[in-house]
Structure 1
Amino acid sequence: MPPTAHHFTPVYPLHEPQHSFRSKQYAPPRKRKRQQGNDDDSDDSDTNVEPLQPVQSHDINDPYRVAGWPENIPLPGSSFPHSPAVKPKGRQLSSDNLQKELAGLKPPLYVPPPGEQDTTPSLRRHHLSVLTTILHTSLLKHDFVRAGRAWGMILRTDIMGRPLDVRTHGRWGVGAEILMRKFSPENIIDEQLYNRTIISDEGFEAAKDYYERLILQFPYQKTNPNAISSLTFYPAMFGLCIYEIQQKCRLAYERTRKDSPEVEHSDSELGLNGNPEEETSAIRRSELASAASLAARMDELMLSPPFDTYPSLLQLRVSIALWLADLYRTTADSDDDDDENKERASMERAKARRCLDRLKAAGVTAPQMLMDISD
């Protein structure tokens, strides 16, 4: 009875040669012996040929046997048995060709969105790169009107049937800067200090409305906490509000010192009446009221997570608390409500310390200047 062939662990009897099944495929053909008496005219050469015996190998770990190659045949070369990887000879499909082939199937597996049938994505990408170049060139030249037009066209551009995300590549920050500068007057030259740009009221309002829209459009999501969301937009908007308050008060202070015809804010907005001392007091009260209103809005927002532990908001709230403490202290020196303002100043300093403690609990080191001032 012949030995039984196993697939995974071949076991060969000791009296039979050990060779693999594949070695028989590469072995040379053996001539069959003809029986004597059946054919008297048979050649002696056929009857005298001995069959080739396979080379015996008593090592079951023989690499020739494992690779299925007999020992009596030369190796094929090319680092046998480790043959090089064969690259597919088929045609490599690009994304555009793949979409066309999927759309041509019946039924189609891909349906191009509206507007993509006639315009290739490569042309749209080229169009987007041209608009981006125009945007940055206009910003370098301080041509904010033209930059705003290019930015609007970029936002209306679709790639592969999907609109561009305003949060990518810092486009949201560029949009806010364009809106602020777009409505601003020309640069005002300060004879004593430096050149500066005055942001108009229309620019501040347009930028704040823009941030409000972004906050509603991209709220914070727990499933994607690292994405650009309202956590990013709130500190930017509050910083813009601080800049607006300080610019209005700075221009009003300068008008009390000298007659500045370039200042466009009206006297009634800050309660000015012509007396320098009364004007200074009115400006300080207006600054205090605006800062207190901003702080109240931030406190309302920071009652709920994740805003109550967000480092950027906490650090900004520390700065506003110290700012309010100074305003309450200076207002107490020239106001009848001396005790009340001093108490509010101490409350704001305590608020700053609590925010610093939250920063430390979150593992964030606050600037040393804020820590020194709050002590």
Structure 2
Amino acid sequence: MDVRNEARWGIGAEILLRRDEQETSASPGTTKVPNAMESTPINFTAKGFAAAKEYYERLILNHPFTKSSPQSISSLHFYPAMFGLWVYNTQEESKATRKNLALRQEEEPDEFSEDDNSESEFAHRRKSQSKVDAAVTAIRALELEQAQQIAVRMDQLLASPPYSDSPELLELRGMICLWIGDLSLSALSIPADFEESDDPDRMLMDETPGSLAARREHRLATEKKAAEVQRSIELFEKAKKRGRSVAYNLESLHIDDDSAK
């Protein structure tokens, strides 16, 4: 049976993605633990994602694009699906971990506080929030690292035809540019009291090494985001010229728009 018929290949990936979850849920006396914390489980496991990704990679090898049958279901269709799944998995893991962190902060606030009775309540809350912010930044930094891995893999693919002319891949790569641009800022580890200012007098008053480093990191991240936005525009324009309007949106590509939050 050819799995390419009637979109069976998409169904196969979905089954693999969810199978480990279903088997774990069905096993008596076992509890599904999708990640380090089970407060907010995601809808599939890391094992399920790996199986689905490997499935797409096998399809890509077994059904390469051929000039003699350009309309056939081939690697041109499987690559966008695989990369879309990879993006989705990365974002869902990050989102679930951040949500679990927020739940832990609500349920066990002492976990993020320090025993120092001499501090005022305001200072105590501020230190606690700083620890939470640092944890969120670390989660975002990991998400950024994984996003960059996806981008590198896609850039290697887009370096040669027919993939360099694929509107779907070009659009997806453009969306990933926007994602990386937002993460470049949200993954910054900067002091809680950092405030970017265009006032020269105010900047001269705060010339501590920490402040200077924070401003430099913020400036570099802002420049990085601007560069990613510019590249996304170029990719979307190229996709449009290849015969397809930019029809995808953040939701359909599984790329959320809260990356800067």
Please classify the TM superposition score into its range, dividing by the shorter chain length: 0.5 to 0.7
Verify: 1:344 aligned to 2:181, yes or no. Answer: no
Counterpart residue number, 2:68: 223
Counterpart selection for 2:162 from 302, 306, 313: 306
CA separation of 1:304 and 1:326: change in aligned 2, threshold 3 A = same
Bigger radius of gyration? 1
Q: CA deviation at 1:334?
A: 3.0
Counterpart residue number, 2:236: 356
Q: CA deviation at 1:248?
A: 0.8
Deviating above 4 A after TM superposition, structure 1's stretches of 4 or more consecutive aligned residues are: 185-188
Counterpart residue number, 1:243: 88
Counterpart selection for 1:292 from 136, 148, 156: 148
Contact 2:4 2:73 in 1 (8 A): yes
Task: Please state whether the residue corresponding to 2:104 is helix, strand or coil.
Answer: coil
User: Structure 1: how far apart are the matches of 2:45 and 2:103?
Assistant: 21
Contact 2:167 2:240 in 1 (8 A): no
CA separation of 1:252 and 1:308: change in aligned 2, threshold 3 A = same
Q: Tell me the TM-score normalised to structure 2 length.
A: 0.66
Task: Please state whether the residue corresponding to 1:166 is helix, strand or coil.
Answer: coil
Contact 1:325 1:345 in 2 (8 A): yes
**What amino acid is the match of 2:43?**
I
Q: Tell me the TM-score normalised to structure 1 length.
A: 0.47
Cα RMSD, aligned residues only: 2.6
User: Structure 1: how far apart are the matches of 2:240 and 2:189?
Assistant: 34
Counterpart residue number, 1:59: none
Q: CA deviation at 1:333?
A: 7.3
Map 1:83-94 → 2, pairs under 5 A: none
**Deviation digits for residues 192-227 of structure 1, max 9, x if unmatched?**
xxx985210110000011111111111110110000
Counterpart residue number, 1:115: none
Verify: 1:316 aligned to 2:204, yes or no. Answer: no
Higher RCO, 1 or 2 (CA under 8 Å, sep at least 6)? 2
User: Structure 1: how far apart are the matches of 2:241 and 2:60?
Assistant: 27
Verify: 1:173 aligned to 2:53, yes or no. Answer: no
**What amino acid is the match of 2:14?**
E
CA separation of 1:348 and 1:217: change in aligned 2, threshold 3 A = same
Q: Which runs of 5+ in 2 are unaligned?
A: 26-31, 34-39, 106-129, 192-213, 251-256
Counterpart residue number, 2:195: none
Indicate the structure with greater helix content: 2
Q: CA deviation at 1:356?
A: 1.4
User: Structure 2: how far apart are the matches of 1:333 and 1:365?
Assistant: 38
Task: Please state whether the residue corresponding to 2:232 is helix, strand or coil.
Answer: helix
User: Structure 2: how far apart are the matches of 1:227 and 1:235?
Assistant: 15
Counterpart residue number, 2:136: 280
Q: CA deviation at 1:350?
A: 1.5
User: Structure 2: how far apart are the matches of 1:359 and 1:228?
Assistant: 20
CA separation of 1:354 and 1:245: change in aligned 2, threshold 3 A = same
Counterpart residue number, 1:328: 184
Counterpart residue number, 2:19: 182
Task: Please state whether the residue corresponding to 1:214 is helix, strand or coil.
Answer: helix
Counterpart selection for 2:103 from 243, 248, 258: 258
User: Structure 2: how far apart are the matches of 1:237 and 1:196?
Assistant: 22
